[in-house]
Amino acid sequence: MAHSPPTIDAARLNRSLDELGRIGDTPQGMMRLAYSPADVQGREYALTLLHRAGLATRIDPAGNIIGRKPGADPNLPAIALGSHTDTVPNGGKYDGALGVMGAIEVVQTLADHSYALRHPVEVIIFTNEEGTRFHRWLLGSRAMAGLLEPEDYTAVDDEGVSLAARLADIGGDLARIDQARRYPGELAAYLELHIEQGPTLHQSGLPIGVVSGITGRAVLAVDVQGRANHAGTTPMPDRQDALAAAAHLVLETQRLATGAEICRVATVGHLQVRPNAVNVVPGAVSMGVEFRDADINALSAAETTLRRRAAEIADANRVSVDINVVESTPGVPLPARMQDLVAAAAEQSGLAYQTLPSGAGHDAQAIAAITTSGMIFVPSVDGISHAPAEFTPPEDCARGAQALLNALLLADERL
C-alpha cells in the first residue's frame, strides 16, 4: 500500500444507519418488506446519499439500484460493493442495511478525500434479497448473475400481486429483466459487508470475520391433507388431523439436524392451519421447511429422509403429505484471494479477525457466479438476527466499514 487509507466517518455512518432504521420501524421490529412503501422510502433515502457522494445512479430492470463512480482507467471493470435494504417481517436494523450504508460511507469518504481509484466503483443495492415477497429470495442479485428460474418470472405474492407489478412500482421492468444481467469480466470484484447474524464473533470477541463461504439452502413446501371435522363429536380414532401429523413432521425436521445430524440446521418457520378454528379438527396444513448446509449432498440426504418419515407419518395419521422443492441453492465457497484481501484489509487497521463460514444467505453468493467475491462480517450481539433485538454496536459497524474501504483500495491495487 503506497499510503494509508483514509478513515471513514464513524458518526456519519451510524447516523445514516439510524435514519434508514427509522424507515419501516415498528414496535414489532423493522418492516421494510421488498416493494412495500417503506422499502421504496428506504431506497429513496439510499439514493439521496449516493447522489450526495457524487455517484451517478440508475435502476436496472430487476429493480436494483446501481450507483457508479468513474475510475482513472476507463478500460478497467468496476469493483462493486453492495447488499440489500429490504428486511424480513419483524426484522432488525442491521441485516443488509449495514452493507449498504457501509458501502455508501466508503464512497462518501473517498469523495471527501478526492481519492481517485484506478477502477470504477459501483454501489449496488439489491432488491428483494430476503425473498419474503414471492418466497423467491436473492431476486435482484440472481437477476444480475443470470440465475433466475422460470418460477421467478411468474411469481405472485401473498397479496396476489405479480412480480411484474411489484417491479414496476420500484422502477424495474420484468419484460426487460434479462437486461439486468452482468457478465463475467464486467465486474472486477464484489465485496459485501454484513453483520454475522450468528454468535461466533460475539463469543470470540473479535471485531472482524473473514467469510470463507456461504451456506447452501433447500426450501420445501409441505402440504398435509387431512379431513376437517367437528372437534366435539369426532372420536379420536376416526380423525384425520392434519395438524397432529404436521406436529410430527416439525419434530422430524428438527431431528434431521439434531439426532440424525444429516444437515447443519433444519427449521419449520412457516405454518398455515386450515380452517384454524378451535372447535374444528384441522383439515389441512401447509408448512415451509428449510435445511441449510454447505454440502449439497447433506441437503438432498435431509430431503430423502424427510420424505421417508413423511410417508410413515401420513400412514399413521391417515392423512396425505405432499412435498415439493421450492428452492435448492448450493453452498458457495468464497475464493482464497478474496479471503486474503479481507484479512489484509483488517490487519491494515489493526483489527483482529477470524475466518468463518456464513450460516445465512447473501447477495454475494449469487454475484459469486459472475465475479470474484468476498465478505466481511462484524459481530451480532448475542448472535441475534432476523428479530427486532438485532444489534451491532456503532464502533463495530464503523470497524466493518473501515475494513470495507481498506479492502476496496487493496482490490483496486491488486486486481
Kindly list the residues in this chain that would bind ligand HGY in the complex (CB under 6 A): 95, 129-130, 137, 360-361
Report phi then psi at 68, rounded to 5. Answer: -135, 135
Report phi then psi at 126, rounded to 5. Answer: -80, 145
Least spacing, CB of residue 215 vs Mn ion, in Å:
13
Residue 396 near which of Mn ion, ligand HGY, none (CB within 5-8 Å, type-dependent): none
Residue 412 near which of Mn ion, ligand HGY, none (CB within 5-8 Å, type-dependent): none
Closest CA to 87 of 128, 21, 32, 20: 32
Residue 209 near which of ligand HGY, Mn ion, none (CB within 5-8 Å, type-dependent): none
Helices and strands (H and E) in the chain: how many: 12, 17
User: What is d(CA 140, CA 86) in angstroms, rounded to the nearest whole number?
Assistant: 11
Least spacing, CB of residue 79 vs ligand HGY, in Å:
23
Residue 122 near which of Mn ion, ligand HGY, none (CB within 5-8 Å, type-dependent): none
Residue 366 near which of Mn ion, ligand HGY, none (CB within 5-8 Å, type-dependent): none
Residue 134 near which of Mn ion, ligand HGY, none (CB within 5-8 Å, type-dependent): none
Residue count of the chain: 415
Closest CB to ligand HGY among residues 214, 397: 214
Least spacing, CB of residue 307 vs ligand HGY, in Å:
23
Closest CA to 385 of 88, 137, 127: 88
Can you give the binding site for Mn ion, defined by CB under 5 A?
Answer: 95-96
Residue 5 near which of Mn ion, ligand HGY, none (CB within 5-8 Å, type-dependent): none
Least spacing, CB of residue 385 vs ligand HGY, in Å:
7
Least spacing, CB of residue 218 vs ligand HGY, in Å:
13
Closest CB to ligand HGY among residues 140, 282: 140
Least spacing, CB of residue 362 vs Mn ion, in Å:
6
Closest CB to ligand HGY among residues 348, 358: 358
Residues with Cβ < 8 Å from 35, sequence gap 6 or more? Answer: 127, 128, 133, 166, 167, 169, 170
Closest CB to ligand HGY among residues 137, 377: 137
Closest CA to 38 of 78, 93, 81: 93
Least spacing, CB of residue 94 vs Mn ion, in Å:
9
Least spacing, CB of residue 266 vs ligand HGY, in Å:
14
* Core vs surface per residue 158-182: b (16+ CB within 10 A) or e: eeeeebbebbeebbbbbeebeebbb
Tell me the DSSP string of 104-148: HHHHHHHHHTT---SS-EEEEEES-SS-TTTT--SHHHHHHHT--
Tell me the DSSP string of 301-317: HHHHHHHHHHHHHHHHH
Closest CA to 123 of 45, 36, 192, 74: 192
Alpha helix ranges (H) inside 23-80 = 37-52
User: What is d(CA 356, CA 9) in angstroms, rounded to the nearest whole number?
Assistant: 27
Closest CB to Mn ion among residues 95, 122: 95
Closest CB to ligand HGY among residues 283, 359: 359
User: What is d(CA 253, CA 262) in angstroms, rounded to the nearest whole number?
Assistant: 10
Least spacing, CB of residue 100 vs Mn ion, in Å:
10
Tell me, what DSSP letter sits at residue 77? P
Tell me, what DSSP letter sits at residue 26? E
Residue 196 near which of ligand HGY, Mn ion, none (CB within 5-8 Å, type-dependent): none
Tell me, what DSSP letter sits at residue 178? G
Closest CB to ligand HGY among residues 385, 406: 385
Question: Grid coordinates standing for 255?
Answer: 431431528
Closest CB to ligand HGY among residues 317, 385: 385
Closest CB to ligand HGY among residues 148, 408: 148
Residue 361 near which of Mn ion, ligand HGY, none (CB within 5-8 Å, type-dependent): ligand HGY
